[in-house]
Amino acid sequence: MKKISVAVVGATGMVGRTFLKVLEEEKLPVDKYYLFASKRSAGQKINFMGEEHVIEELTETSFDRGIDIALFSAGGSTSEKFAPIAASKGCIVVDNSSAWRMDENVPLVVPEVNPEDIKKNKGIIANPNCSTIQAMVALKPLDDKYKIKRIVYSTYQAVSGAGMGGWSDLENGLKGEAPQKFPHPIANNCLPHIDSFLDNGYTKEEMKMVNETRKILGRDDIAITATTVRVPVFNSHSESINLEFHNSFDLKELVEVLKNAPGVVVQDDPENNVYPMAITATGSNDTYVGRIRRDFSVENGVNLWVVADNIRKGAAANAVQIAQKLIEYMND
Ligand code: 25A
Ligand code: L14
């Protein structure tokens, strides 16, 4: 086995801390870890893998010591600048930001969906947007079987998606304090506004769902629309997904397809009030699907309710799963 070293960039953030938790749980065959953040956190000590690790400031020379894999979650501008530097030193970057996702030289990967794309990397692999990842885990097996024609996404997104600042806005907002991260109070409110607005009236988050879905499924012809909404939930994103297929389907068979899909847990027993919920998805790396019902307003339609931990499957766990596969390939 090759000796592998892994860096975590943005180790002190919401996603970065979860990287560390998931890495401890998954016990990857890694010999050495390096933890980076901005200057603000340099020198801070973090207990990780039973040892004390010191946070280092990320600089242009950070990757000069033969680091094999770097998990980045320090925002778009940090990734834009430092991912190419890391790649030029022979490191493979798994990047959580939106900076590289639509670059044609960068694979956009959900391991249950398109693991084969990992091998096509030229030094940077992008982790999709959190809302897109959980949708892909549920939709890929249905697309393979029934061929998706159109998707309507409506999301109910947790504040943890906006990092530490989003979390504080809800926590402090519940005590009556004014928001700092969001443009309006999020406590007792819903904001149909995630990331910035574009000229076409959609938000960036909505267009990420549209474009990333097409790239990951390799299906530019699917008609997709999305409305993404921030709700006063600390963690885990919920999504209403309305699908139309080209092929007809049997509902019972469709449920079986989902039950057999990797990474999916079906929770669908309305008589007993069983359906996916944010509070039960939190802490898990799986994607939960329920409220599975035929859409009687169109010919081959179905409605789904899809919930996952946005910081785990939507970010850290997905990236660690990619790293796991990378290490397997390095040892092949
Ligand atoms: O808008 P952007 O640039 O795209 O960034 C979006 C933000 O979303 C989060 C992440 O916030 C990011 O900053 N994020 C990114 N991907 C995400 C995803 N998939 C995501 N959230 C959800 N899902 P965060 O606060 O959770 O994490 C930021 C981490 O990045 C480190 N960092 C920032 N700039 C860096 C850098 N690391 C290296 N080089 C740089 N130039 C950051 O480290 C953190 O680990 P830090 O040292 O800057 O932060 C340590 C602590 O400081 C607090 N803090 C954060 N921002 C501020 C702040 N304090 C004061 N003012 C601030 N502006 C935090 O408590 C943090 O723990
Ligand atoms: O593109 O604020 O991955 O909930 C993920 C979190 C964009 C913003 C991304 C949020 C970000 C989003």
Mutate-to-test residue for ligand 1 from 8, 12, 20, 34, highest number of ligand atoms within 8 A of CB: 12
Residues designated as active site: 130, 237
* Atom of ligand 2 minimally distant from the CA of 96: 3
In degrees rounded to 5, what are phi and psi of residue 190? -130, 130
Domain ranges of the chain: 5-127+315-330, 131-310
Within 100-250, residue ranges assigned H as helices are: 130-146, 163-173, 204-217
Mutate-to-test residue for ligand 2 from 170, 194, 212, 237, highest number of ligand atoms within 8 A of CB: 194
What's residue 118's pLDDT? 98
In degrees rounded to 5, what are phi and psi of residue 305? -120, 120
What's residue 332's pLDDT? 82
CATH architecture of 5-127+315-330: 3-Layer(aba) Sandwich (3.40)
CA 110 to centroid of ligand 1, rounded, Å: 23
CA 254 to centroid of ligand 1, rounded, Å: 40
Packing angle, helices 251-259 and 130-146, rounded to 10: 130
Residue 33 to residue 53: CA distance in whole angstroms: 9
> Do 131-310 and 5-127+315-330 have the same topology in CATH?
no
CA 39 to centroid of ligand 1, rounded, Å: 12
What's residue 1's pLDDT? 78
Place of tokens 């906006």: 162
Determine contact, residues 304/249, Cβ cutoff 8 Å: no
Nearest CA to ligand 1 atom 63: 165
* Atom of ligand 1 minimally distant from the CA of 130: 19
Q: Which CATH number, 1.10.3720.10, 1.10.1040.20, 3.30.360.10, 3.50.50.100, labels domain 131-310?
A: 3.30.360.10
Count CB atoms within 10 A of the CB of residue 243: 25
CA end-to-end distance (rounded Å), the chain = 9
Q: Which ligand is nearest to the CA of 186?
A: 2
Determine contact, residues 6/71, Cβ cutoff 8 Å: yes
Residue 275 to residue 329: CA distance in whole angstroms: 37
Low-confidence ranges of the chain (pLDDT < 70): none
What's residue 105's pLDDT? 98
Residue 196 to residue 173: CA distance in whole angstroms: 22
Determine contact, residues 112/137, Cβ cutoff 8 Å: yes
**What is the value of pTM for the model shown?**
0.93
* Atom of ligand 1 minimally distant from the CA of 74: 30
Structure confidence by residue, pLDDT tens digits, 162-209? 999 999 999 999 999 999 999 999 999 999 999 999 999 999 999 999
Residue 187 to residue 173: CA distance in whole angstroms: 5
